[in-house]
Chain A
Amino acid sequence: MSLNLDTEDDFYLEENRFKQCCAEFIKHSQQIGDGWEWKSIKDFPDGYMSKTHFQMKNGNTPSIFKDSTKENDEQTFTHVEEALDDSQASEICATSEVIRYEYHVLYSSSYQVPVLYFRACFLDGRPLTLDEIWEGVHECYRARLLEGPWDTITQQEHPLLGQPFFVLHPCRTNEFMAPVLANSQRENRNINYVTSWLSIVGPVVGLNLPLSYAKLVSEQNTKTD
């Protein structure tokens, strides 16, 4: 795996390598139906990874959505609104309790690391505040948020879409990624930077990664051993 190492402390992720990591990540996501996609920006070489998932306020996934991760999320949204007139509506106590979460992984050329943008809204379009999003995050991760080497999460403008999102600030990503990368170098093992990074920051904001992502990379390692 090629990294730009200016000094032994600098583990920068170069942009093309970022795109490669995302491609590998998405390939696995497609295999397990985890819903991640690559979105391109018209007329530019830029893009980002995106995942949308629905959850009820109590944390359950409504069953009508369980097969929907393979569809594009526009279709899923309409599917929801139609279904609510059916008998399946009884499973969803009120439309106001279904929340649509969106997660985007972008590349920051200033810090040369990936950045996680996220937002959530109710089906009627009303956005959730940061506090409301926290209510959906497990207690143990809230502690990690407070202890982690990152500044508090703030609302910022999405640099490609121009809409308000919440962001985990990237300026200290190197701090928590350095030991991960140093370890992998020491053990002569390949890792997917994006997978490792997302497995650390994701749960803090309600995004979980199935373990099979890690197994994928270790399979790649055993193949080259």
Chain B
Amino acid sequence: MTDDKDVLRDVWFGRIPTCFTLYQDEITEREAEPYYLLLPRISYLTLVTDKVKKHFQKVMRQEDVTEIWFEYEGTPLKWHFPIGLLFDLHASNTALPWNITVHFKNFPEKDLLHCTSKDVIEAHFMACVKEADALKHKSQVINEMQKKDHKQLWMGLQNDHYHLIPGSNLEIPANLPASPNNKFDQFWAINRKLMEYPPEDSGFRYIPFRIYQVTTERPFIQKLFRPVATNGQLNTLGDLLKEVYPAAITPEDGEKKNQVMVHGIEPMLETPVQWLSEHMSYPDNFLHISIIPQPTD
């Protein structure tokens, strides 16, 4: 049986093979080659695409370059959503690589937040971590931490070292040494405190989660939900959906219309949400759950 810690590593090291192509109407001085990259599921687009930016800017004039933004099949991609969430929501049942279009003009002001520096990403990430702790521990754990601990959480997301495969522009993550200095250990040294709860309780106060669907204007559903029922039983993923978004669950005699996806898999609906929260949250400590149409093949 898989060790729980293996789940943490699988979540952390998840990658999505992606092909970045420059939007055809961008003005270039010569042809722009597509750029291939393995994107970390747990990170954010604007945090991991410096090389993509550099690659395309090499064939463009400075004056034609304004804020970079990404689009998939006509939909602007929200950089403030983790990459894994964006993929699960928009492209999980399509053929790999994930084809993303890169833009340097006409920033869609009505759809996307500006991301003018890494500080903006850090502020967004930390705001999510704080909100998650407000739900789990009434902010007590995050507020007791020092600034340097907060920084360590953020630093855990910074780019790992990548190796370039010779003769291509394909990059793969370097094999990380099993030493305490690697990003995963650095992050979890602090994050484990955010995953603790008093021994007299059976779990967190409320579970930090968000449920996403592409079909609605509303970006996500988020509600107060306890991990333990009044009778002491652990609430499951199925219980959560029944209470917060019953349309996502297949009726007894009905056909399965939706997939309930986290990190590219469909967890069993019997899984306790407390376990999911501890093991399958993103680094921001939220469970980001996608409801997508059941593929018909």
A135 at the interface (CB under 8 A from B): no
Q: Which of A26-34, A65-73, A152-160, A184-192 contacts B (4 or more CB under 8 A)?
A: A152-160
In the assembled complex, which residues on chain B have CB atoms less than 8 Å from the CB atom of A156?
113, 124, 127
Complex: how many Å from CA A127 to CA B107? 12
A105-132 CB mask vs B (1 if < 8 Å, else 0) is 0000111000000000000001100000
A5 at the interface (CB under 8 A from B): no
Q: Tell me whether B219 and A155 are in contact (CB under 8 A).
A: no
Q: Verify B134–A162 contact, CB threshold 8 A.
A: no
Which residues of B218-248 have CB atoms within 8 Å of chain A's CB atoms?
218-224
Assess whether A163 is in contact with B218, with CB atoms less than 8 Å apart.
Answer: no
> Does B135 make an interface contact (CB < 8 A)?
yes
Number of interface residues of B (CB under 8 A): 27
Main secondary structure of the interface of B (DSSP, over half): loop
Query: B114 near A155 (CB under 8 angstroms)?
Result: yes
Question: Any chain A CB within 8 A of the CB of B189?
Answer: no
Residues of B within 8 A of A111 (CB): 131, 134
A94 contacts which chain B residues (CB < 8 A)? none
Q: Is the CB of B113 within 8 A of A171?
A: no
Does A1 have its Cβ within 8 Å of any Cβ on chain B? Answer: no
**Is the CB of B123 closer than 8 A to any CB of chain A?**
yes
Is B110 part of the contact surface with A, judged by Cβ < 8 Å?
A: yes
How far in angstroms is the closest Cβ of chain B from A117? 13
Interface 0/1 of B286-297, CB less than 8 Å to A = 000000000000
When the two chains form the complex, which single residue of A44, A126, A127, A164 contacts B218, counting CB atoms closer than 8 Å? Answer: A44
- Which B-chain residue is minimally distant from A158 (CB atoms)? B219
Q: Does B29 count as interface, using CB distance less than 8 angstroms?
A: no
Q: With A110-B134, A164-B109 given, is the CB distance from A159 to B222 under 8 Å? A: yes
Closest-CB distance, B135 to chain A (whole angstroms):
5
Which B187-229 residues have C-beta < 8 A from chain A? 208, 217-224
Please give the distance in Å from A191's CB to the nearest CB on chain B.
24
Q: Which of B222-277 contact A (CB under 8 A)?
A: 222-224
**Chain A residues with Cβ under 8 A from B150's Cβ?**
none
Residue of A nearest to B114 (CB): A155
Contact A155 B113 (CB under 8 A): yes
Q: A169 an interface residue at 8 Å Cβ cutoff?
A: yes
B111 partner residues in chain A, CB cutoff 8 A: 163-164
State how many angstroms separate the Cβ of A130 from the closest Cβ of chain B. Answer: 10
Residue on A nearest B123 in the bound complex, by CB: A154
Complex partner residue of B135 from A110, A126, A161, A164, CB under 8 angstroms = A110
Collect the chain A residues with CB atoms within 8 Å of residue B135's CB.
110
A-side contacts of B78, CB under 8 Å: 157
Closest chain A residue, CB of each to CB of B224: A109
Interface flag for B18 (CB, 8 Å): no
CA A161 to CA B218, docked complex, whole Å: 5
Q: Which of A110, A127, A154, A155 has the most CB of B within 10 A?
A: A110
Can you list 23 A-B contacts (CB < 8 A)? A6-B138, A44-B221, A109-B222, A110-B134, A110-B208, A110-B222, A111-B131, A126-B109, A127-B109, A154-B120, A154-B123, A154-B124, A154-B127, A155-B113, A155-B114, A156-B113, A156-B127, A159-B222, A160-B218, A161-B218, A162-B219, A164-B112, A171-B130
Which 5 pairs across A and B sit closest by C-beta, in order of nearness? Answer: A162-B219, A110-B131, A110-B134, A155-B113, A164-B113
